[in-house]
Each structure stands twice: as structure tokens, then as C-alpha cells.
Copies of this chain bind each other. A is one copy, B any other.
Amino acid sequence: MIHRFQPNIYHTSFGSHRPVLNIANGDTVITSTVDNQGRNAFDKQVTTGPNPLTGPFYVEDAEPGDTLAVYLDKLWPNRCIGRSSTTIAPNVVDPNYVIKMLTQHPRINAIWKIDLERGIATLSRPITQLGSIKLPLKPMLGCLGVAPRSGQVISSVTSSAHGGNMDYKGFVTGITAYFPVFTPGGLLFMGDGHATQGDGEIVGTGIETSFDLQFTVKLFKGKTINWPRAENEEYIFTVGNARPLIQALQHATTEMIRWIQKDFGLDARATHLLLGQCLEYDVGNVFDPAYTMVCMLKKKWIPSLR
């Protein structure tokens, strides 16, 4: 079944809020997200930030201990303006360098013109030595996840085992994301679309804009995972969200080991041997309270997938 859902309420936290729509295993939803500050497709402020989320979507039969798959069928900006910060966060530079950096320029937003047909974002202002630099669109969701464990309600500026504000460039059209279900219905949320974004989201924003998106859910009953997972044609990947950064990496690596051993039938030695020479890491958000590290493996290295 395909649902067309026009949101009119937004949450700035992941938690057991009242569902906006009930959907079933296999259903598809066509909906939209506002930008990080609550502006919609007409660049009109319809809610307040930070990171207002569309949802939650209640997935029938989803229960704690299950895994919820979300196929990102399509996500794309739905307006022609995007904004980005122009100030690198102090926590990603040397403590001794912060003073030099922050006194150099006041905080303002950059404005980007988004050309949806050609797939390009062009810098409009401020006027800098970059001129009208053009970047290719790589639309991604900064926020994606479910209600957290133990009835917690967690702000949409951070992340944990439930997903959240991971700001990872890999959450794009065509991937399937997997989340652990912690509460009945799972309660799926999404938001904070970026037309493109540098690794780490070190200025605290991508090119922030509103999105149209379509997704399809699938429920894996009784399958339990510990951290968000995802896959595309080429890769499987696992996501760790924590601070310090090494802990995010530890969560992602551990989840990858579990995945390979449990689902793809490799024993411990084969798993270690393989990951040692073939694993890849990507860096998600290093701006927010929790950091995000992604552990990746090409499917072609997994014997049972070849």
C-alpha cells in the first residue's frame, strides 16, 4: 500500500510521541521533510527547529527485538534555496587554534541556489573568493531513526543506537537502513535533509533544505540488531553513534563483526582475517553531542554473497 502523507506536526526529538500514521510491513510512504530550521518547500517557516522531524510512523506488528528496514526509494530537495553555516565548530580544531579561528569572522549563513534539474548547488552569497562555486547535489538525510530504548526521548540534535542525527553522507536514495525496534510500532522519524554535505558536518550544517521523499518499510520479526545497519548495491555498513569518536568506531566495528558472523556464516577467524584487510571506515557527524562512525565492507568480499 502507498500512503501519501502531508505532515502538519513535527517533533524535535526521537521518542514515543503520538504516531502520525500507521503503516504495515511492506507499505510505502510518500511524504516530505522541512529543513533544519523548520522551513518547508516554499521556504516558509512552519515549525521551529532544531531539526524538526517528520513522523513518527507506527509500523504495525513491530515489537522490541525486531528489526525495521527502511528502503529510501527516493529523496530529493523540493525547493531552490539551501543554507549552510560558515563557521567551523571549535571541537574539530586544535584547542590552541580555536582563538585564532573564531576571531576571524562573524557567523553568517551562506545561501545556495539549488538547480534541481541539473543537480547542482551554486553559492549565491556571501561574496567570497569562492565566487559562484558549484557543487553537485548528493541529497541525504541528516536525521533518520526510531524511538530510543527504555522509553527515552532524545533530542534530534544527537544520536545513539536508535539512529538520530547521524549526518552521514551515505543515507541517500537507494540505500536500505536497518534499525533496532525498541518500542511497539518502532516509531520511525526522518528529517534534516542536506542537498550535499562535507564529511563530519564540521560547520554544523550541510546545505540545508526541505525534501520530498518516498520510503518503504519492511519488518524482520525476531531479528535483533544492536546498532543501525545499512546496505546498498556495493556495500554493507554499520553505524556507531557515541562520544568519544573511538567509541563510535568501536560500536560500528563490533556490529560489523556480529553481522558477518551471524548472517553470513563466517567464523571468528575468517571474520577477523577478512576485516583486517578489507574493512573501510567513513566519518559521519563530528559536530553534535554524539559522533558517528561508519564501518563498511564491500559485498564482493563476503563468500556467501558472491
Q: By the criterion CB–CB under 8 Å, are B150 and A92 in contact?
A: no
Q: By the criterion CB–CB under 8 Å, are A110 and B242 in contact?
A: no
Q: From B85, B91, B130, B205, give the contact of A95 (CB < 8 A).
A: B91
- Asked whether any CB of chain B lies closer than 8 Å to the CB of A25, the reply is no
Q: By the criterion CB–CB under 8 Å, are B203 and A275 in contact?
A: yes
How many copies of this chain does the complex contain?
4
Residues of B within 8 A of A273 (CB): 84, 86, 110, 123, 126, 128, 130, 203
- Asked whether any CB of chain B lies closer than 8 Å to the CB of A120, the reply is no
Residues of B within 8 A of A199 (CB): 279-281
| Cα–Cα distance between A101 and B154 once the two chains are bound (Å) | 31
Say how far A102's CB is from chain B's closest CB, in angstroms. 4
- Asked whether any CB of chain B lies closer than 8 Å to the CB of A96, the reply is yes
Q: By the criterion CB–CB under 8 Å, are B249 and A246 in contact?
A: no
Q: By the criterion CB–CB under 8 Å, are A265 and B93 in contact?
A: no
Interface of A is mostly: mixed
Q: Among residues 27 to 78 in chain A, which have CB atoms less than 8 Å away from a CB atom of chain B?
A: none
Q: What are 22 residue pairs bridging A and B, where the CB atoms are less than 8 Å apart in the complex?
A: A12-B151, A86-B276, A88-B253, A93-B250, A93-B257, A97-B257, A98-B98, A99-B99, A99-B103, A123-B273, A128-B267, A128-B273, A130-B270, A133-B301, A133-B303, A150-B155, A152-B152, A152-B154, A200-B281, A202-B279, A246-B286, A246-B291
Interface positions of A (Cβ within 8 A of B): 12-13, 15, 84-99, 101-105, 110, 123, 126, 128-131, 133, 135, 149-155, 196-203, 205-207, 242-247, 249-251, 253-254, 257, 265-270, 272-283, 286, 291, 301, 303
